Amino acid sequence: MSPATANATTGVATDAMLPAAACRTDVELSIKALLAAVAADGAGITSARPAIEEKKALLQEWLARAKEVRARGGYYPYVGSGRGRGALVELMDGSVKWDMINGIGVHMFGHCDPGVMRASLHAALSDVVMEGNLQFNADGIALAQLLCDEASRASRLKHCFVTNSGCMANEAALKICQQKTGAAPRVLAFRDCFMGRSVAMSQIGDEPAYRQGLALNMLVDYIPFYHPEIGERSIATSVALLKELIRRWPKQHSCFVFELVQGEGGFKTAPRAFFAELMTVCREAGIPVWIDEVQTFGRTTTMFAYEAMDLGEFVDVATLGKMSQACACMYTEAMNPKAGLLSGTFSASVSALQAGWSVLQRMRDGGYYGPEGRIAKLYDAFRTRADALVKQHPEFFPPYKTDGGIESRNWVGGVGGMMRLTPFGGDKERVSRLLQHLFEDGVIAFLCGHGPCHLRFLPPIGVMEPQQFDEVFAILKRSLARTH
């Protein structure tokens, strides 16, 4: 049995991940009984519902404790009960909400998914909780092998460094690129990008609030992202600026980090030509191309967004995370770093590694990808309802100004499992108020974009069905009216 071959009975990656053969039958019977009990317990969770009066105090108690230990409250009055069903989650106060953000894209199969729970239960029988770069079991190897197999189908990516967060995967990518370019000090990135919240990533990310009070020592040159309102002129402008920066700082750029769909920046998309022309300039100048797929990974019509856009030939380094549970930095043979550059006490927990493997093989083999796959159909369902809502209620959707000051009527956007809607002219205060109303009414979403501000959905595309958007949009319509 190869390391990346699934066990048909258990759904875990390898026999080496399973308990010893002597107790395997008893373990399987116990896991089946536990999963059946969880399913029965959650059977009544079928739609959004308000809080239960006698449980409201319990939620407030936990919120107060959270505020005390964290020094501030959360964005939402959210403390989960540990119960849920697919796209629905229950809170401590007994309320149930449609979870359309999923930990900002982590819980691809929603709440209480039997496949994820099965993998986690098996992981609990391992000899350790965490695996690292000095000592590891078969789990991390199997996950990395699956990623390498998928990545290499449409690129030169060959190797995989598994780590415990998207930010740390990005740190690894930056180190690889700097080492390969002889410690070139500058980084190229898109305006409005988001990279994570380490000291280095906070400086590369284009949001001043995220680096307030930090000592600034990163040299970053920003390129405008694609503007659909001006099309070809947008491509020419960005390419011209890239060439000028390379002329001004020859051999000083360690990499250009590309978000193929901007996440925090507003779920912005661009045609292949935009990226291909920029990447071609980078290749000619010897600047490594780093694709940041921490949010896009698994959410487009292919597992890797660069494959959907036929950009694999340009990729030197790629980072991924969120839906994979464990995160990773991948790189080509030519970018393979010297010994000692990449390591870490923790790669990930055994449960994250096994759950991640379960999620990835189900996404790969379950009909999710392709133009007629589940992800494409789910986005079509969102788009159909969103377009109808805009047409039915133009009072909620005035034209808005893009970050370039251009008037736009592209109220509905995104791609695949990354979905956005732009009400109230993209005014951040009103969109934030809408999010609070949505939460109260039974839908958890989030915002994105630095101006204009958008409503962001990252639904659990592993389990959500298109028709479930009917209730989500019925609630959204009520919340929009409240906010308006």
The predicted-structure confidence for 45-102, as pLDDT tens digits, reads as follows 999 999 999 999 999 999 999 999 999 889 999 999 999 999 999 999 999 999 999 9
- Which range among 359-363, 364-368, 399-403 shows the weakest confidence by mean pLDDT? 399-403
Residue 111: DSSP 8-state: B
Cα–Cα dist 295/259, whole Å? 9
Query: In whole numbers, what is the pLDDT of the chain averaged over residues?
Result: 94
């250009």: which residue's tokens? 256
Go through 351-371 and write b for each residue having 16 or more CB atoms within 10 A of its CB, e for each that does not.
bbbbbbbbbbbbbeeeebbee
Q: Write out the two tokens for 371.
A: 């133009």
Q: What share of the chain is helix, strand, coil (3-state, %, to 5)?
A: 45, 15, 40
446 phi and psi angles, rounded to 5 deg: -155, 180
Distance CA 101, CA 110 (A): 10
Tell me the average pLDDT across 373-391. Answer: 98
Q: Minimal CA–CA distance to 7: which of 164, 138, 163, 175?
A: 138
- Residue 482: per-residue pLDDT: 97
* Dist CA 143 CA 358 (whole Å): 9
Question: Which residue blocks in 219-349 are alpha helix, DSSP H?
Answer: 232-248, 272-285, 305-308
Q: How far apart are the first and last CA of the chain?
A: 59
pLDDT tier at 8, thresholds 50, 70, 90: very low
Please report, for the chain, the start and end positions of each structural domain, with discontinuous segments joined by +. 15-123, 130-365, 374-483
Q: Note the pLDDT tens digit of each residue in 229-245.
A: 899 999 999 999 999 99
Model confidence pLDDT, tens digit, residues 421-456: 999 999 999 999 999 999 999 999 999 998 899 999
**CATH architecture classification, 130-365:** 3-Layer(aba) Sandwich (3.40)
Of residues 428, 471, 462, 473, the one with CA closest to residue 446: 428
pTM above 0.85, yes or no: yes
Superfamily of domain covering 374-483: Aspartate Aminotransferase, domain 1 (3.90.1150.10)
Cis peptide before 452 (omega within 30 of 0): yes
| Whole-number CA gyration radius for the chain | 23
